[in-house]
Amino acid sequence: MLAEPPREDACDLSEPFSRISELIDGSHTIAISGHTSPDGDALGSVLGLGLALRSRYPEKEIAFLLADDAPVPRIYRFLSGADELKSAVSYTVDPDLFIAVDCPVLDRLADAAKVAERAHHVVAFDHHPCRREFAEVVARHVKCAATAVLIDKYLAFCGIEVDPGMATALLCGIVTDTGRFQYQNADPAAFAVAAHLVSCGADPAKISLEVYQSQRIEYLRLESLVMGRIKTVADGRVAYSYARAEDIARRRVSQDECDGLVDVVRSVQGVEVCLFLKEFEPGRIRGNLRSKGDLDVSGVAASFGGGGHAAAAGFTFEGSVEDALSVALPQLAALVGMDPSSIQIKL
């Protein structure tokens, strides 16, 4: 087995880790949830941490929650424990402890926010920047490539042995949040933790097959449509595309299947920043922003009330696709150093 990955910054987290462990020790009922519209990091962190705590504390009642009243996204159903995920609205317990993972603000917990509000204690593990904490104890490290990296650090701190199911869940979080180790956040620590998880039995081939190589034909047809709509502005340095609610409905694609479409837009040669808009219902838009280099797109997301990282951020917009583009594209043009007034939007 490989040696433990370097945890040179673990001492910075020893205090919150210790306080979280004390709260876990003193709790009988524990609920764990990630953010709304969960991605691989949110679900992988819920399951990796949840399975680990169950192995350490078999006498405790530990629930794995979904922030939305919706099924587990299809591509993540292979993860150990995924069949035990339940919607937060169906969870009626007032837990001793609520653990939020991969979520910087209470609103992003959606239905699980109500569980957090009635819990006796609330703690959080997260790697996103945050303006105001909602939990009483927070283990936050914005330099971690994924919350799953932070969970791995916590399990090592606690001396909990990681089994193949936990390891695969956590590795899924790292793989998806680094874009298969293609994004700027794929740092040495991410690779080291990934290597450690594989040594614990994580199955990277299974993750690749289930998450990236098992797309439904309906989704691929939507991807083709989005690809055909890609336009560039600012001398090719900004790219954008979109999917309307009717496009998604007509092709019978679920909302969670659309999460990877922003990477189709990001892949255009010469593009520095990109935007993908998904209309999840008429008049309501989800925007995904990506940066290929050092440019920080989180400020654009923040202008819409959203947030995220420098290289990956998102927001929600009330209005039409055209309205969202008219506001966002000039900001992206300015970000790459171009005159915002020169932008001409084409659909």
Which one, of 307, 276, 320, lies nearest residue 107 by Cα? 307
Write the pLDDT tens digit of every residue in 260-317: 899 999 999 999 999 999 999 999 999 999 999 899 999 999 999 988 889 999 999 9
Buried b (16+ CB within 10 A) or exposed e, 238-256: bbbbbbbbebbeebebebb
Please report which confidence band the pLDDT of residue 6 belongs to, taking 50, 70 and 90 as the band edges: very low
Write the pLDDT tens digit of every residue in 98-126: 999 999 999 999 999 999 999 999 999 99
pTM: 0.90
CA atoms of 302 and 128, how far apart (whole Å): 13
Q: CA angle, 32 as apex, 21 and 105 as ends, to 5°? A: 95
Please compute Rg for the chain using Cα positions.
Answer: 20
Which one, of 280, 20, 240, 252, lies nearest residue 125 by Cα? 20
